[in-house]
Amino acid sequence: MTVMNHKAKAMGLFLKSRRERLSPEGAGLKYASGQRKTPGLRREEVSVLAGVSVTYYTWLEQGRDLNPSREVINSIAQALQLSPAEKSHLFQLWNTHASETLLAAPALVDPQIQKIIDQLAYPSHITNERTEVLAWNKAAQEMFFDFTSIPVQERYFIRLLFEDTEMRRRIVNIEEFSNYSVGVFRTYYDKHRGDPWFETIVEHLLQNYAEFERIWKQYDVQLKKVKRVFLQPPGAHQPVSYDIQSLVNLADNPDVHICIYTPVTADPTSDY
């Protein structure tokens, strides 16, 4: 199966998940009362709303290797009432010009970029789309995890987020942060469908962590954006709130992200 076929399959599963979430009432449809066997909308209802044939929409959900136009994808996105993040994800899966190569082995971080984050007083780390922690500063090691304590092949943030109990304790809004992190990781997973590493790590997390399985089955997707996180420093009585600033392309590599946690003034209405 080619990478393009993998992406078509991922797009089909994504469309199905969005269709099953949208109720007829929410879509503005009227239908006869009675029990519906299909959760959410039926395929024929989406086809009417999107202005495409039932057969063609069914083929898209089945992951057939078709070549829909931008207009068709946009119409389906509107019919399914996709959020900006979901619409962006759909177009990424549809994009036939996207790279068809698997993620290469992690590149060494530019020493100059390492020097930059070393000079920051705020927790900062550099990851790729596998969430591999490629570099970090002293504050990140103190606030999150001693990354030097584990082998390179185990330094994946998505794994540590569910495996390390101390990290989970320090992240006060762990449920919200986990939902967001899995949503972002889901976009990478779909982008790299067919990459054995992604398949292996997801299977490992599904088998070992019920919380990851619950979030994964929701099929939420998130774009990298400013996100609030509340961290409990070791020995501190009160958590500190940070905004996560994600910067990309600073290493001539679009798959590398620099995350900087900038402290913010506590919100007096917050529960934290």
Residue 270 binned pLDDT confidence (cut-offs 50, 70, 90): very low
Q: Is 256 exposed, middle or buried (0-12, 13-18, 19+ CB in 10 A)?
A: buried
Torsion over CA: 60, 218, 129, 252 (sign) = positive
Give the tens place of pLDDT for each residue, 153-205: 899 999 999 999 999 999 999 999 999 999 999 999 998 888 899 999 999 99
* Overall size of the chain counted in residues: 272
Q: What is the residue-wise DSSP string for 121-148?
A: SS-EEEE-TT-BEEEE-HHHHHHT--GG
| Cα separation, 227 vs 261, whole angstroms | 9
What's the pTM value of the predicted model, to 2 decimals? Answer: 0.81
Residues 118/137, Cβ–Cβ less than 8 Å: yes
At 83, which amino acid appears?
Answer: S
Residue 105 binned pLDDT confidence (cut-offs 50, 70, 90): low
Q: How far is CA 85 from CA 3, 67, 180, 186, 257, in A?
A: 23, 22, 12, 12, 18
Q: How far is CA 138 from CA 109, 179, 241, in A?
A: 16, 26, 18
Tokens of 170: 């320090």
Give the tens place of pLDDT for each residue, 22-58: 988 888 887 655 567 777 899 999 999 999 999 999 9
